[in-house]
């Protein structure tokens, strides 16, 4: 059952641009930027959906419409049966939002004091608050810094504290907009574990935008690719791989370089470095095992591996050749 419904969502910004010449500031022109241009999609309850695209594609604008921060120019959006910008207070009680490096915590007070204030704002019963705090501490390790003022936290600690803050009131929806910007590898892994565990424990629906394709592959079964404000793909990662990246490579290292070209039925040599060859094949026409069997029968194979496509390659295939788009106002 769809718990988030978006139909023909459009958001147009009017941007003032300075004119040319020394008195250009007196001749400002206004132009329209279509940040989101007729997007439609559904999100099922309990899904973790990856929403990806290049800078300026409209990802953050979409999230801001879904959370009620922005009012769209046109279109229909419902989140849990509510229109986000009309029912901001009710919608705020059912969602949690993290925007990259923009904290929702009070800067000069300890983390735990912010949590207690949020408990009162959201009317979270004390037993529920304690239970949730314990669960979040198990996953995020909050006790090590919960008595520290936010301004003294490292970036990784602050992101963990932000994630704890948005989950204290048991939200039905979690919107994460570039949550791992600036984090190190260990902090990113902790965040992935947090998202997966909270989704499994509470069935929270997660809408994730990120440029880190490893996060998408680890967490999401479904992706939506947006470019120039339009949705260009929505479906499973496996279907996207089959549609946009139907080929894989067998990378083989031979014990010695043959005197003639390397030839295998069903494969094509696309790159060579000394005795190492990259042989590309279509997965719907042959298999890596078949190619490797041919190679071992004809050549002295020293080592080999199979390189399958990943989400990053798919995204590059979809929009990599397109010209960059100016980013819409935040």
Q: Is the pLDDT of residue 81 over 90?
A: yes
Residue (of 58, 19, 29, 63) closest to 43 by Cα position: 63
Mean pLDDT of 170-197: 87
Cα 65 to Cα 36: distance, rounded to the nearest angstrom: 10
Would you place residue 189 in the very low, low, confident or very high pLDDT band (cuts 50, 70, 90)?
A: confident
H helices, E strands: number in the chain: 10, 13
**pLDDT of 128 over the 70 cut:** yes
Mean pLDDT of 163-185: 89
**Dihedral angle, C-alpha 194, 198, 204, 205, nearest 10 °:** 30
Q: Look at residue 325 and tell me whether its pLDDT is greater than 60.
A: no
- When the pLDDT of each residue in the chain is averaged and rounded to a whole number, the result is 88
Least confident range from 279-288, 294-303, 316-325: namely 316-325
Taking 70 as the threshold, does the pLDDT of residue 198 lie above it? yes
pLDDT tens per residue across span 5-14: 999 999 999 8
Q: Tell me, what's the pLDDT at 20? A: 66
Residue 19 has pLDDT above 70, yes or no: no
> Cα(230)–Cα(116) distance, rounded to whole angstroms?
41
């Amino acid at each position: 059952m769809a718990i988030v419904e978006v139909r023909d969502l459009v958001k147009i910004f009017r941007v003032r641009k300075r004119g040319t010449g020394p008195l250009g500031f007196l001749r400002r022109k206004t132009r329209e930027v279509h940040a989101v241009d007729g997007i439609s999609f559904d999100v099922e309850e309990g899904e973790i959906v990856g929403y990806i695209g290049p800078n300026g594609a409209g990802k953050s604008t979409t999230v801001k419409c879904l959370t009620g921060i922005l009012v769209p120019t046109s279109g229909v959006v419902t989140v849990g049966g509510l229109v986000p910008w009309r029912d901001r207070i009710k919608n705020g009680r059912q969602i949690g939002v993290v925007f990259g490096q923009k904290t929702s915590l009070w800067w000069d007070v300890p983390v735990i004091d912010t949590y207690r204030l949020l408990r009162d704002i959201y009317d979270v019963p004390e037993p529920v608050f304690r239970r949730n705090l314990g669960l979040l501490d198990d996953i995020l390790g909050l006790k090590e810094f919960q008595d520290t003022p936010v301004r003294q936290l490292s970036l990784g600690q602050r992101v963990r504290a932000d994630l704890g803050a948005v989950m204290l009131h048991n939200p039905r929806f979690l919107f994460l907009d570039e949550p791992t910007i600036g984090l190190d590898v260990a902090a990113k892994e902790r965040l992935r574990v947090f998202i997966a565990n909270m989704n499994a424990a509470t069935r929270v629906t997660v809408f994730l935008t990120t440029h880190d394709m490893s996060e998408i592959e680890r967490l999401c079964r479904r992706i939506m690719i947006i470019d120039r404000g339009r949705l260009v793909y929505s479906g499973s990662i496996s279907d996207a791989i089959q549609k946009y990246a139907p080929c894989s490579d067998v990378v083989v290292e031979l014990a010695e370089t043959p005197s003639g070209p390397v030839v295998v039925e069903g494969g094509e040599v696309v790159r060579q470095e000394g005795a190492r060859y990259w042989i590309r094949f279509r997965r719907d026409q042959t298999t890596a095992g078949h190619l490797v069997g041919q190679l071992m029968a004809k050549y002295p194979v020293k080592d080999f591996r199979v390189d399958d496509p990943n989400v990053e390659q798919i995204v590059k295939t979809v929009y990599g050749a397109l010209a960059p788009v100016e980013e819409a106002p935040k």
